[in-house]
Amino acid sequence: MGQVNGIGNVNRIERVVIVGGGTAGWMAAAALARFFNDGRRRITLVESDAIGTVGVGEATIPPIANFNAMLDIREDEFLRATRGTYKLGIEFVNWGRQGDRYFHPFGSYGQSFHGIAFHQLFLREQARGAGSGTIGDYSMSTAAAMAGKFARPAPGAKSVVNQIAYAYHFDAGLYAAFLRKMAEQRGVRRIEGKIETVERHGESGDVQAVVLENDTRVEGDLFIDCSGFRGLLIEDTLEAGYEDWSHWLPMDRAIAVPSRNVGTPPPFTRSTAHGAGWQWRIPLQHRTGNGHVFSSGYMQEDEAREILMANLDGEPLAEPRTLRFCTGMRKKAWSHNVVSLGLSSGFIEPLESTSIHLIQNGIARLFALFPDNPVSPIERDEYNRGMRELYEDVRDFIILHYKATQRGDTEFWRYVRDMEVPASLARKIDLWRLHGRVFRENAELFVADSWIAVMLGQNIWPESYDAIADSLDPDRVAAAMHQMRAAYRETAEKLPAHEAFIRQSNGWH
């Protein structure tokens, strides 16, 4: 049949070149090989062992399971290969006030009644002085985490276990190696070597080829810049520009060190606030990842290192190493025929473990808008618009943790407590302070319950609860809430211990 409508009359992208083989590069390579390797398209990844990778991204959020599923990766196989553990959320220590502790769980709080948000009923019980505990008492993920237990939700079964939501901790280097193997098996060509120069088309300014130290020339139609903080193509070559957010998030250094496990790995990340930043603890099967993220404007590196080393659970397994960064995002994540992913597209400190998700989301968006040759500015602009929205949402949620502090013990905490925040965040906090209302907007990453966890966890109480909660009989609600709390606690006690669960499901290595 002849072509009647012009569909199909395009030049497909034939050569995709990925620059960089860190987590971003190999995630992109594995995903491209799975969906865009139709035999005609050539996918090449260039990386330099001499330059190496950052390799510290070890905690994640639940959507990563979708990424792995998309690549047909089985969970047990993945945990075994990356020596991973389960993560039910993050415990925050010393954030609202020194001595405070709260848990930001994955999954939701309680159950809504007649469509009325659960937290409104919780707030009403608090207003009645009815001794309803903390909001954390109404989360299955929190109950399991605090008991050191884990089980996967069992779809179909009528149990509160189904309210468990989870992500993983894993060894980032092992994850990249795992994805590399998969990508190479599916036809990705890997070239080792350092890129020295980048060639551009005279007219369009598009990138045409990268040239390695040994003069190997790699041509492409579409380039994915996964070269890390430097942004070899997106910044050094195309000068896309960087939007600096360090006035809101002044952390600019991290010192990382692995330590020996003490006891069995807990199923959660811990974030402990210090004088000018915070420390992560990420438990893996074979070691614990630790790091101190701090602001060099408020603390010297020596002091930051001492604090980190003094606060390890087990003995250190390597020399601590320092990483430098500037919080912000590339003004255009996609410029010309170059799409930046990972650290080359921007960086927000790992407080809520969002970086790997930003890579995953960038890949999904690129696939949804996969261009033809030449790239259309319409698809490129749509990508940039969506990425900006996502980055700004994550940025606001991270800033909330600092803004919602009552600490004033150091200059750093006084600064972040008193600073002006983006209007988008100020509006959210103001709305919460009135009647505890919080709405998930657009495709925002963090659900309402995440915002509630941080606000209440850091002692930001609203003036009142939503009037609609008064439509329900308080005694019946109180009785149902009492039952809910008991069900979470009792169910958690009966679950397998976290390590035992991984061993049973054959994910322990």
Residues in contact with ligand FAD by CB under 6 A are 20-25, 46-48, 51-60, 172, 194-195, 226-228, 232, 254, 256, 291, 323, 325, 342-344, 350, 353, 355-356, 359
Between 244 and 409, name the residue whose CB sits nearer to ligand FAD.
Answer: 244
Give the integer Cα–Cα distance in Å for 231 and 237.
8
In a 3-state reduction of DSSP, which class is residue 453? helix
Nearer to ligand FAD, 252 or 396 (CB): 252
- C-beta closer to ligand FAD: residue 19 or 117: 19
Asked, as a colleague might, if the bond just before 371 is cis with ω within 30 of 0, I would say no
Q: For residue 156, what are the CA distances in angstroms to 104, 115, 147, 467?
A: 26, 22, 24, 35
Q: Smaller CB distance to ligand FAD: residue 120 or 360?
A: 360
Compute the distance between CA of residue 260 and CA of residue 256 in angstroms, rounded to an integer: 14
Taking the C-alpha atoms of residue 24 and residue 240, their distance in angstroms, rounded to an integer, is 19
Name the active-site residue from 87, 149, 332, 428: 87
Q: Are 206 and 200 in contact (CB under 8 A)?
A: yes
The least CB distance from residue 59 to ligand FAD, in Å, is 4
Closest CA to 343 of 509, 228, 260: 228
Q: How would DSSP label each residue in 276-315? A: TEEEEEEE-SS-EEEEEEE-TTTS-HHHHHHHHHHT-SS-
Nearer to ligand FAD, 350 or 436 (CB): 350
Q: Which of 146, 127, 128, 151 has the alpha carbon at shortest distance from 136?
A: 146
Contact 395, 348 (CB under 8 A): yes
Phi and psi dihedrals of 324, rounded to 5?
Answer: -110, 145
Q: Which residues contact residue 125 at a Cβ distance below 8 angstroms, ignoring those fewer than 6 apart?
A: 132, 474, 477, 478, 481
Shortest distance in whole angstroms from residue 294 CB to ligand FAD: 11
- Is residue 258 within 8 A of residue 60, CB to CB? The reply is no
Q: Please, what is the minimum distance in Å from the beta carbon of residue 412 to ligand FAD?
A: 18
CB of 2 to ligand FAD, least distance (A): 47
Q: In the bound complex, what is the minimum distance in angstroms from residue 228's beta carbon to ligand FAD?
A: 3
Q: What is the DSSP letter of 339?
A: E
β-pair type (89-93, 101-105)? antiparallel
Cβ-based nearer residue to ligand FAD, 160 or 212: 212
**Please, what is the minimum distance in Å from the beta carbon of residue 159 to ligand FAD?**
30
DSSP alpha helix (H) spans, 36-117: 64-70, 75-82
Does 87 qualify as catalytic in the annotation? yes
Distance CA 413, CA 411 (A): 6
DSSP one-letter string for 380-433: HHHHHHHHHHHHHHHHHHHHHHHHT----SSHHHHHHHHS---HHHHHHHHHHH
**To the nearest whole angstrom, how small is the minimum distance from the Cβ of residue 324 to ligand FAD?**
9
Nearer to ligand FAD, 28 or 429 (CB): 28
Kindly state the smallest distance separating residue 332's Cβ from ligand FAD, in Å.
17
Q: Smaller CB distance to ligand FAD: residue 347 or 432?
A: 347
Catalytic residues: 87
